[in-house]
Amino acid sequence: MTPGDLAMLAWCDLGAVLRTRPVPLDRLDARRRHGLGYATAGAAITPLDGLVDNPWGPMDEMRLVPVDDACAIVPARDAHPAMHLHLTHALSPDGVPCNWCPRNFCDAALAALEAETGWTIWSAYEHEFTIIDSPIRFGAVYSVEALRAIAPFAYEATAALRPLDLECFEPEFGHGQFEVSCAPVPGTAGADRAVLTREVLREIARRHGLRATFSPKPSPEAVGSGMHVHFSFRDRAGRPALYDRAAPATVTPKAAGFIAGVLRHIGALSAICAPSPVSYLRLGPGHWSCGYGAFGVQNREAALRVCPSPDRSPEGAAEATNLELRVPDGTCNPYLALGALALAGLAGMRDNLPLPPIVDGDPAKMPEADRRRRGIEALPSTLSAALDALESDALARSWMPWPLHATFVAIKRSEVLAHADATAAALTRAYNQRY
Ligand code: GLU
Ligand code: MG
């Protein structure tokens, strides 16, 4: 520790910007109990530095209290100071979890799922990102050359992400596009891990004079970047609860209800998981980002798919089989996405919904009548339409406590308004600067 080391108390806000109030590292322990104060109205700041109408006045204050173990430390190297990142959640001055805090929302949603079903959700996020504004020649996509072109960055990032259980760092389909994924963890820690992974990658890129953007579309012609969420369930005894070898799509009847709930609310989920105007330059058929609210096995054009395991043993397959929601992108708040996903699925379980039709192939290539017969709906094609879907879905409207819901929608509507006349090029430039 050096006297200059700062511990950044940080929170991923409604627009998925990681904000911070730092303290000298040797004062962190003194902040563990009551955290640091912050004006609640700060929750209404937009990713574009605006402030939307909100219910909080000049007196309202929350405490940003560090969450045990939700931290990442990147050691100092050469002229680069260490980065100590400590994620927080918001408590009232009396220690009650604030209901406008995305992390508290996720905690509450996962607790509701657990209380009613006995299930814990395990999640792992795949982060696609693009190196922009760089003269680097990346060579062919997926190539050794592409990876070697950024090897100093990739290797330092790999080391920094080992504590977060890095599983893969690979070149992707786009020029300068890469993907990083970490192993699944139970509960809200999955979203913590997603937030930390993004920020560690940004930090290491900065150290190498690079700019890594998680924007879903770095330029109108670029390959889009998603943040697919892989997830599975375990019961109270810790046993995998998703897989049933003999069942359609190899999912248990309870999991079928969860899947159907997610599809029933996929429009509303789009507003939360693909929450920026630029998200809709990525989302759509033909790019493996998904354009329809369809379910399939292995199907990369489906919004929700089963990812089967190559393990032939029933126990191995049960351990490794998971579901993947493909709608989310790097402008979404991982807590809101995971919490909303859990509540959408829980609603389907409550209603005992049957498994949706298993779609093979690209739904965009099916005749419209076939799609209608199977209940496959196109995803919203703009953020505005996605927000309409969220607001017209009575159940989805009740997922987030009112101050969180209202402020989230206000922030997102303000982004729509701010870019109403923007060209695709201007839109991508604006979001590259923030994500
Ligand atoms: N880049 C695609 C997306 O926008 C995903 C490609 C893949 O399957 O990895 O979601
Ligand atoms: Mg990928």
270-324 pLDDT, tens digit each = 999 999 999 999 999 989 999 999 999 999 999 999 999 999 899 999 999 999 9
pTM for this model (two decimals): 0.97
Q: What per-residue confidence (pLDDT) applies to 387?
A: 98
405 lines ligand 1 (CB under 6 A): no
Q: What per-residue confidence (pLDDT) applies to 413?
A: 98
Each residue's pLDDT tens digit, 345-403: 999 999 999 999 999 999 999 999 999 999 999 999 999 999 999 999 999 999 999 99
Mean pLDDT of 233-248: 97
Q: What per-residue confidence (pLDDT) applies to 1?
A: 82
46 lines ligand 1 (CB under 6 A): no
Compute the distance from residue 179 Cα to the ligand 1 centre, in Å.
9
77 near 207, Cβ under 8 Å? Answer: yes
Q: Of the candidates 361, 250, 362, which has an alpha carbon nearest to the alpha carbon of residue 316?
A: 250
Give the helix, strand, coil percentages of the chain, each rounded to 5: 40, 25, 35
Compute the distance from residue 338 Cα to the ligand 1 centre, in Å.
19
Q: What per-residue confidence (pLDDT) applies to 270?
A: 98
* Ordered alpha helix ranges (H), 208-350: 253-264, 266-273, 279-282, 314-320, 334-350
Q: Where are the beta strands (DSSP E) in 116-202?
A: 120-132, 166-171, 177-182, 185-186
Domain residue spans of the chain:
6-101, 105-434
Q: How confident is the model at residue 222 (pLDDT cuts 50, 70, 90)?
A: very high
* Percentage above 70 pLDDT, the chain: 100
Q: What per-residue confidence (pLDDT) applies to 363?
A: 94
User: Residue 423 contacts by C-beta under 8 Å, 6 or more apart in sequence?
Assistant: none
Q: Of the candidates 335, 323, 167, which has an alpha carbon nearest to the alpha carbon of residue 232?
A: 323
Kindly identify the ligand whose nearest atom is closest to the C-alpha of 280. 1
128 lines ligand 1 (CB under 6 A): yes
Domain 6-101 has CATH 2.60.260.20: no
Q: What per-residue confidence (pLDDT) applies to 425?
A: 98
Compute the distance from residue 339 Cα to the ligand 1 centre, in Å.
22
Compute the distance from residue 303 Cα to the ligand 1 centre, in Å.
11
Each residue's pLDDT tens digit, 90-141: 999 899 999 999 999 999 999 999 999 999 999 999 999 999 999 999 999 9
Residue nearest to atom 10 of ligand 1 (CA): 289
Q: Which fold has domain 105-434?
A: Creatine Kinase; Chain A, domain 2 (3.30.590)
Q: What average pLDDT is seen over the chain? A: 96
Each residue's pLDDT tens digit, 17-61: 999 999 999 999 999 988 999 999 999 999 999 999 999 989 999
- Longest CA span, the chain: 68
415 lines ligand 1 (CB under 6 A): no
Bridge partners (DSSP) of residue 171 are 178
